[in-house]
Structure 1
Amino acid sequence: MRLLHLIPSVDPRGGGPIEGVRRIHDALAGMGHEGDLVSLDSPDAGFVADYPGKVIATGPSISSYGYNERLLPWLKAHAGDYDAVIVNGLWQYVGFAAWRALHGSSTPYFVYSHGMLDPWFKHRYPLKHLKKWLYWPWGEYRVLRDASAVLFTCEEERLLARQSFWLYRCREVVGSYGTTVPPQDAKALSEAFLSSFPELRQKRLLLFLGRIHEKKGCDLLIEAFARVVAAAPDVQLVMAGPGDEDLTRQLQSRAASLGIASRISWTGMLSGDLKWGAFHACEVFCLPSHQENFGIAVAEALACSRPVLISDKVNIWREIAADQAGFVESDTLEGTIALLRRWLDSTPAELAAMRLAALRCFDNRFQMKQVAEKLVRTIREHSPQPA
């Protein structure tokens, strides 16, 4: 098949969605399925040039919604060259343009919501939700209603999606999500990371890797770490990732006021070998998020045989708990403290068993090859049959 992937941006600072698109695109290519990637980015953006593959950038775009004049004509002219179109994300012009160009046409389109229908956003940002309601009936509702299928990465995401808007109808399909098998030279990758951050040598590393964003529970992690750090003098918290500069400064200021600034290393965004080196060098990965549709970084940690400490708002928490691949608690300060204490109280034998369980969990559930195979089956099952 020839597939077209639509995404608002290929900027890696966007986190999980673009990382997931990149990995599933590679997995599909490995299966012999060709594909192109269209974004709302400006063609001269540096991250477009740096993207490891072809990007058809239709920007520059206007406002955070990403409207531009080139996307709709491009879709009308070229969508027929593809067997299916895959829309990644909601609340951006890519979805509405796909609906305008494709509903009623012979080219089916499919939508990954990427957790953007989670009711957490409704409760956390009520005014934004009201604005979305004004747009919903003539915009995203129709995008979802007329899609050949709306793809959810797990059952938890599908159930939560029903709670945001009472006007809701779509063909729901629960698939899966994940990442590719990471580079396997763990010793060399770990050494490369530690050479870049030599102060982390001989430390037990607690890794957070992702966007520095309020929904990720970064404040909970720092507060909880402060409660347990005195009993664990060899533990260092690594905060790795891009994010809001104001929030980062606030978190660093809070760490200083708690007297733990020296126990936290802020690496900025990590990519390539340094990212994988961080996973291999850490003892556990932690994500006490308030809302997480899937958590690509969780799957990446599992792929590196690292136990994960997550909240029950990470939508794959049931799978993690069932496979004993880490610990799960609530997205509260008490829950995050419990996560850290359960880890620190674990024996070396228990941690070794969890490392094996983490890798089994990845192999059985979250390998991107399996995700791509499921996507292909879904597209074939839900596409119009030729006359």
Structure 2
Amino acid sequence: MAEAFDALELIKLKRDGGTLSTAAIDWLISRYATGTVADEQMAAMNMAVFFRGLDSAELSAWTTAMINTGEQMDFSGLGRPTVDKHSTGGVGDKITLPLAPLVAACGAAVPQLSGRGLGHTGGTLDKLEAIPGWRAALSTEEMLGQLDEIGAVICAAGSGLAPADHKLYALRDVTATVESIPLIASSIMSKKIAEGTGALVLDVKTGGGAFITELDRSKELARTMVGLGADAGLPTVALVTDMSTPLGRAAGNAVEVAESVEVLAGGGPADVIDLTLALAREMLGLAGIDDVDPAEVLDSGRAMDVWRTMIAAQGGNPDAPLPRPRETETVLAGGDGYVTRLDALPVGIAAWRLGAGRARKEDPVQAAAGVILHAKPGDKITAGQPLFTLQTDDASLIPRARAALDGAWEVGDQQPDTEPLIIDRIGA
């Protein structure tokens, strides 16, 4: 039986600025998922999309086609509304950890399907695996049961959700097409729509430590994903947030878990608390829960109760000591003044070089590796005061990590103005 379309002709069409029909996109994505369309052909199509883009109809069809290559989950049987959050990733971005139990404690169900880190951005699952016994892989039945009983689950996404995206993501990674906004948006939204959540809040990072550094492009990505959500009937809101400086005072795995628990216990850095509450309010608003103040719930300790129950349900021991590093080194301030700048990207690279991240998906990570930030922009410091503590199990990794921090901060005589953490809100 003859194929309805020809991959070469579709590549030429998009390369030359043409528009792909919905039927052509359906054929292309489904045939790529089954292997009829080869990697080299899809690589060429990705590059054509990178330069020519996809219009709104093409992008919607592309996303739907990826969803249709796999299964779709259904949470309609739960006794509470479902709402999820997705972050485009950054340095010190541990917000999912306190956020999921907080929103669950407020009455929603949070099916948080998360991933692992690659490069300088940390992965939620890598962080949680620092907790002794905790496991990321759950069956659908286990996940649904935990959502019904506890209201929150953070686990690995199954391979059955948008399997075409798994192939496309790996291909983009080796063909210099990762930065394409249509391909980023369809990758994220195909999985979130297939996940079956009732609403979605996006945290789109911008700045030096973000996946997309330019504010205009970050806003474009946010608008594109919100539009895809609307096309699919999924209520979606995006916050564009600053990632020029690391979030909180810890970047790594166990160190970020510890900071998250501190937030749930009523302490923690102000920026982590503020962003957690801002995202919680957006999630609750989309879930139709307008009569609960997440700040009060956080203060009450109920979110901590959900956290402990959630961790235990996935085999973890919430009371177990977190891994400690075998080697540490502290960087000291050379003079007095105020910290006026602290760049997120070098801190993320330092944590990565210490063993907290991976260069390839199959690489292991060190649970105890990371960077503790003793001072951030606006803080007054004196000569000899600790600025950073580098943590690792392998002392040979410290010199390159410390080198990554060279020039990453500045100290001045004047206290700098505070930059807003939340830059924009896009959506209904």
Output the TM-score relative to the length of structure 1: 0.31
Output the TM-score relative to the length of structure 2: 0.28
Structure scoring higher RCO (CA < 8 A, sep ≥ 6) equals 2
